[in-house]
Amino acid sequence: MILSDKSIKKYLESGELLIEPLEPRQIQPASVDIRLGHNFLRLDENNFGTMTMTDEIEYTRFECDELIIPSGSFLLATTMEYIRLPNNLTAFVEGRSSIGRMGLFIQNAGWVDPGFEGEITLELYNANRLPIRLEAGRRICQLVFAAMDDEAENPYCGKYQKQRSAVGSRICLDAENQRKD
């Protein structure tokens, strides 16, 4: 069941759901608008020829209030908001329609597991032929919350828990990559 604005407010007031900082105008009828943070990662394309799922991926980190994402470019960004989901809620990250109509695709694998805590790393891709100027603090995506039928037996406690700032892929830490001696 998707949560309404009324239910979102109840979860926030009870402290079960945390979104900080949060302005009342960010709460929409069935979602919460989330703003672009100041921290970004760009792939360090000059340091390797091919990315693999077993090697650590190198990024260049930078902070700014405004940036231009060129056509066909990809970068990682963070949200201004730090969130904490209770063990009985999950969230979907959805791009805002107005942003999508500019050709900017926003993802984070689309899903936030129950029990997750941290800033959300967003994957941004400019599919337009024109560069797009982005400004920190602007609403860029939205979280849609869904109540689960029961609390998660194993809430999220993975490699991105309590992340601050944009965090690059940690796929090299996956169980499939760990040595079995």
Residues recognised as catalytic: 123
Alpha helices, H only, 89-131: 97-100
CA-based torsion, 113, 88, 140, 167: positive or negative = negative
- DSSP assignments along 45-77, one per residue: TTS-SS--SSSPPPEEEEE-SEEEE-TT-EEEE
Give the list of residues 6+ apart from residue 17 with CB closer than 8 angstroms, or none: 8, 11, 83, 84, 85, 86, 89, 145
- Structure tokens that stand for 58 in this block: 């190198």
Residue owning tokens 């090697």: 55
What's the one-letter identity of residue 67?
A: L
Judge whether 70 and 128 are in contact, CB under 8 Å: no
- Structure tokens that stand for 117 in this block: 């805590």
User: Rounded to 5 degrees, what are φ and ψ at 75?
Assistant: -155, 160
